[in-house]
Amino acid sequence: MSVVSTGQARFEWSSETIIEVLRGRYGLRGLSVTALGGELDQNSAVSLEDGSSVVVKVSPPGADLSHIRWQHELINLAGRPDVLGDVQVPTVRATLDGDTVAEIDHDGSTRAVTVQSWLDGKTLSELSAHSSSLLEELGVTAARMVRAFDGAPMPPHSTSHDWDPLRAPELVADGIASVSDPVKLDEVGRIISWFDRAMALHGASLPFSVVHHDFNDFNILARQDPDGRHHIHAVLDFADALHTARISELTVAVAYAMLREVDPLTAAAAVVRGYATELEITEAEIAVLFPLAAARLCVNVVTWTRRNVEDGTVYGFERMRHTWPTVSRLAATPPELAEAVLRGAAGLPVAREALPADGARCVVPDLDPSPLDASAEGGQAWFGRHLEPDQRAGVRRSTVTGQSATLRLGVAIEATQPFAVHAPFDAVIESGFASSTTSSGTPTVVLLRHDRPEGNPLWSRWTGVATPYAPGQSIAAGELIGRAVPELSGVGHSTIHVSVHRSLETASQATQVLVRPSEADAWESVSPDPAEFVGLPAARRPEPSGRWDAERVVATRDVHFARSQRSYYQRAMNLVGGQGAWLYDDLGRSYLDAINNVSHVGHANPRVVAAAAAQMGRLNTNSRFVYPGIAQYAERLTSLLPDGLEVAFLTCSGSEANDLAIRIARQVTGRRDVLVVDGAYHGSTAVMTGLSPNRYKGPGGTGPDPTTHEVVQPNGYRGLHPYGDPAAGSAYAADVRRQVDRLTSLGKPPAAFIAESAMGAAGSIFYPDGYLTEAYAAMRAGGGLCIADEVQVGFGRFGDVFWAFESQGVVPDIVTVGKPIGNGHPMAAVVTTREIADAFDSGMRYFNTFGGNPVSCAIGTAVLDEIVDQGLQQHAAETGRHFKAALDELALRHELIGDVRGHGMYLGVELVRDRQTKQPATEEALLVSEFMKDEGVIVYPTGLDNNNLKIKPPLPFTPADVEIFVSTLDEVLSRDW
Ligand code: PMP
């Protein structure tokens, strides 16, 4: 028998013995036995003849029966209805003579056997990622478990338990000799010193309770619900239950939740948030929580290292792949920051004390702090504020789940010439600190200690300042600390960075300049705003109650908007900025935008912004006045359309343009009826809603107007005539002919056929070759007009053509354009022939207050200039080809992708549950979009079944952005949800 394969190997029973015991003592017929893990017990899963399974636990010889019976009492307490909500615990099976423990003599020793029900689910350790809501549920469950044991009997003997978090230093001391790596020794030593400090201050005030005490990620099961998300489903293994500090329950849950996380504090905060909704956390408990949880992981690594060194035990040792890196991350986390983060999560007040005002003085007197923007005219200095998004850092990948660091810690000053930096308070250069140096060897990160007559000292950290002093030297208030020199910034500017800290530990560890938004309040409490240190007026972050954060914006929208006006995403981003193909939220997180085709030439395009601002500052009026811009723009826009389409009506929205186009067609033909393509969307006015199957057939729809007639959607993926069928175009167009004939024979020939040049809201549908040619011919043969709705797809997005209808080789009678035309400014247009425009002129005047105003015309012109000057049409062709190929490749690996289609930078990915039945994967599409957003990529479902991911980014989207999009989608599709 091997004694090294697992910790339990020494006591192992054979499968036959287990099956025999089950039969003889429990009357259960076992079929097969699978070994499960366990530190002391031999645990096995046994499948039974009736199809169910049980867990058989065989205790080591000499196990204390009364203790096992006590654990069973706890299982019963936790298993009472509603105690843990929907979360289950195993039930204990009784032997044939009604006992819950069977004592079995075998091979010369007596062993206690218990049998429990098998619960399905994946252990938390098996899930590739843990959502914050799952971690919150874990916290909720831990709190409920503690409550379940309120008044529970005490354990029969006051046993001391090896894994009791309160005993961490002792256990670490026992095994530390097995750890040889000096870095690891230092990390463990630091964490244990935090433990000692916290326990010395608060240990005596900790409340005690019976606890389950083993919320580790092997003992918690999760299950995927129909909503596609994992929820906590069960808590297993009561064998480590104990009477100890009540906070131990949360400590263990937090410790294991931090494993594998790049950002352990965010995971810990989620667990604490959940716990605190159920159970109050005391001041003493919150103060010890982080040191205890970190120390618990130290016990793990040290114990498993010791056992592995001593006797080759592998059980537990393998987990250290995850545990050591987490211990390292925790050791690099200032404990006071961690406490502040967890306090925030627990709903406990986080101190927000300002810097003492008396020491505030301008330390950079040779700079004028007023120009806050380096690009401002005559500006010589730029000041970046404490805990504000550092957007100048440019486009960055940031994730919501992974919570990238996006806020600047401290103040940054960048100036075009070198400047001197003076000490705000009397200071001592902190000994032993001199990190990066200039080429001449001068220290450039200066850490100062400011002793204060009353109160604790403060530390300030100055990066980018070359100082002539050595550690230990004193500097009086107002004296020179050093000089900011361009040599250090690499861009010829002098850049310094200043942060202030309440502890040396935080000051020494605050090597990062950016911190996570979720930790901003915590950072503010441990590192106050140094603005006054550098002579800037302090600008405190508003109190949480004064912030327009995502939650408040959504709640206020809910009050003041109709429910029918939905917003994107379950956890909405609170957007405050954009640039090119990227958007930013209030927390400085950046999102790659793959859906805003409106921002055609890029968010906040400088040329468009400048044109708008300049025109706004000069003249804005309406089109009954005469001004050059409107004439120039009409000439420019119509020049881009085929010959003959030369008369423009400038409107404010695509809906309005389509509404006007229908009105023109009806008046010009003297007819009422209109043909639309099934699934189309043409706008939100009363007329266009009745002409949009996407609305009138969707939720809340009341059917078409009596004058609306659908033609079959030419869909190569789902329709009767699939991709590759050379006759598909004609076959689908035949339906237009049928409808024209039918209506004509009924005495109401149609006024118009309106079709998007490629279908947007229907889910990026591209017509087969020849479709519009034959459909237009049929309509014209019936005496009606052909309207191309180019609102989604025009202005070069298709790449090979400027207008999407050109890809079908047709020239419409009326074209409507919108969305990208004004790059986000509300403008749209109807363009038609002189003949039709004249026929519309019945004497009734047409006037549009805002359409074609000077500002809109200036913007429209700037958009066209930008398309040309940036070569965006060509760029769309190349990037779109690359995008489509990358998505096609992804479809080879992910079954959920049913179809990928695209033309230039207008693409769609249709998700299906089954490639045979093509059942729409509606919920999945929404989840994928939510997860993509959490990873910093914006995409959203569309189509009648909302199972198509629409992809229509601002055209500055680069091939590198394509990589980000595709790799993120790949990662999200590979997840366990
Ligand atoms: N036509 C199409 C094809 C559209 O996609 C839309 C908007 N989604 C419209 C018209 C209506 O445009 P707007 O929202 O500017 O009124």
Say whether pLDDT at 375 is over 60.
no
Instruction: Print the SS3 string covering 276-293.
Output: HHHCCCCHHHHHHHHHHH
Q: Residue 834's CB: how many other CB atoms inside 10 A?
A: 11
Give the contacts of 635 (CB within 8 A, at least 6 positions apart).
none
Give whole-number Cα distances, 414 to 134, 367, 371, 411, 491, in Å.
43, 10, 11, 10, 10
Ligand 1 atom 7: residue of nearest CA:
683
Say whether pLDDT at 9 is over 50.
no
820 lines ligand 1 (CB under 6 A): no
Phi, psi of 581 (to 5 degrees): -95, 15
Give the contacts of 823 (CB within 8 A, at least 6 positions apart).
598, 599, 600, 601, 602, 605, 608, 859, 862, 863, 866
Local confidence band at 366 (pLDDT 50, 70, 90 cut-offs): low
Which atom belonging to ligand 1 lies closest to the Cα atom of 818?
Answer: 15
CA of 879 to the centre of ligand 1 (A): 25
CA of 819 to the centre of ligand 1 (A): 7
Say whether pLDDT at 958 is over 60.
yes
Which atom belonging to ligand 1 lies closest to the Cα atom of 680?
Answer: 3
Mean pLDDT of the chain: 89
CA dist 499 and 387 (Å) reads 11
682 lines ligand 1 (CB under 6 A): yes
Average pLDDT over residues 90-117: 89
- In 231-241, which positions are buried (b, 16+ CB within 10 angstroms) versus exposed (e)? bbbbbbbbbbb
Structure confidence by residue, pLDDT tens digits, 162-183: 789 999 999 999 999 999 999 9
Which atom belonging to ligand 1 lies closest to the Cα atom of 793?
Answer: 3
CA dist 222 and 377 (Å) reads 58
Say whether pLDDT at 1 is over 50.
no
CA of 774 to the centre of ligand 1 (A): 25
Q: Which of 337-341, 395-399, 799-803, 926-930 is predicted least confidently?
A: 395-399
pLDDT for residue 601: 98
Say whether pLDDT at 309 is over 50.
yes
Structure confidence by residue, pLDDT tens digits, 704-742: 999 999 999 999 999 999 999 999 999 999 999 999 999
Average pLDDT over residues 241-268: 94
Say whether pLDDT at 290 is over 70.
yes
CA of 689 to the centre of ligand 1 (A): 11
681 lines ligand 1 (CB under 6 A): yes
The percentage of residues in the chain with a pLDDT greater than 90, rounded to a whole number, is: 66
Say whether pLDDT at 664 is over 80.
yes
Structure confidence by residue, pLDDT tens digits, 188-197: 999 999 999 9
Average pLDDT over residues 278-287: 97
CA of 657 to the centre of ligand 1 (A): 9
Structure confidence by residue, pLDDT tens digits, 600-659: 999 999 999 999 999 999 999 999 999 999 999 999 999 999 999 999 999 999 999 999
pLDDT for residue 367: 55
pLDDT for residue 843: 92
CA of 427 to the centre of ligand 1 (A): 64
Structure confidence by residue, pLDDT tens digits, 459-499: 999 888 888 888 889 988 888 888 876 665 555 677 788 99
Give the number of residues written for the chain: 977
Q: Are 621 and 628 in contact (CB under 8 A)?
A: no
pLDDT for residue 376: 39
Q: How far apart are the first and last CA of the chain?
A: 41
Best CA proximity match to 507, nearest among 460, 555, 474? 460
Average pLDDT over residues 81-95: 94
679 lines ligand 1 (CB under 6 A): no
760 lines ligand 1 (CB under 6 A): yes
Beta sheet of 590-593, edge-to-edge order = 575-579, 582-585, 590-593, 937-938
790 lines ligand 1 (CB under 6 A): no
pLDDT for residue 492: 63
Pairing of strands 752-756, 674-677: parallel
pLDDT for residue 454: 73
153: which DSSP letter? P
Say whether pLDDT at 399 is over 60.
no
pLDDT for residue 443: 60
Structure confidence by residue, pLDDT tens digits, 430-459: 854 545 555 555 667 888 998 877 778 889
Give the contacts of 326 (CB within 8 A, at least 6 positions apart).
258, 259, 260, 261, 264, 297
**What sign does the dihedral 867-871-874-875 (CA atoms) show?**
negative
Give residue 574's identity as a one-letter amino acid code.
N
CA of 671 to the centre of ligand 1 (A): 24
Q: Residue 508's CB: how many other CB atoms inside 10 A?
A: 16
pLDDT for residue 407: 86
Q: Which of 531-545, 933-947, 960-974 is predicted least confidently?
A: 531-545
pLDDT for residue 622: 96
pLDDT for residue 368: 52
CA dist 887 and 349 (Å) reads 48
Q: Are 429 and 461 in contact (CB under 8 A)?
A: no
Give residue 237's identity as a one-letter amino acid code.
D
Say whether pLDDT at 7 is over 50.
no
CA of 654 to the centre of ligand 1 (A): 5
CA dist 39 and 8 (Å) reads 6
Structure confidence by residue, pLDDT tens digits, 130-153: 888 999 999 999 999 999 999 999
For ligand 1, mutation pick of 565, 568, 792 (most atoms within 8 Å of CB): 792
822 lines ligand 1 (CB under 6 A): no
Ligand 1 atom 10: residue of nearest CA:
682
633 lines ligand 1 (CB under 6 A): no
Say whether pLDDT at 5 is over 80.
no
pLDDT for residue 222: 96
Local confidence band at 361 (pLDDT 50, 70, 90 cut-offs): low
The two tokens of residue 749 are 């020939």
The percentage of residues in the chain with a pLDDT greater than 70, rounded to a whole number, is: 91
Structure confidence by residue, pLDDT tens digits, 508-539: 876 667 888 888 889 988 998 888 777 777 76
pLDDT for residue 975: 86
766: which DSSP letter? -
Say whether pLDDT at 371 is over 60.
no
From the number of C-beta atoms within 10 Å of its C-beta (0-12, 13-18, 19+), residue 45 rates as middle
Local confidence band at 971 (pLDDT 50, 70, 90 cut-offs): very high
CA dist 124 and 532 (Å) reads 47
pLDDT for residue 401: 52
From the number of C-beta atoms within 10 Å of its C-beta (0-12, 13-18, 19+), residue 415 rates as buried
pLDDT for residue 391: 62
Best CA proximity match to 733, nearest among 772, 677, 785, 687? 772
CA of 733 to the centre of ligand 1 (A): 24
Structure confidence by residue, pLDDT tens digits, 766-823: 999 999 999 999 999 999 999 999 999 999 999 999 999 999 999 999 999 999 999 9
CA of 604 to the centre of ligand 1 (A): 21
Give the 3-state secondary structure of residue 894: coil
Helix (H) or strand (E) holding 31: strand 30-36
DSSP assignment of 57-76: EEPPTT--HHHHHHHHHHHH
Alpha-carbon dihedral angle through residues 618, 624, 627, 629, given to the nearest 10 degrees: 90
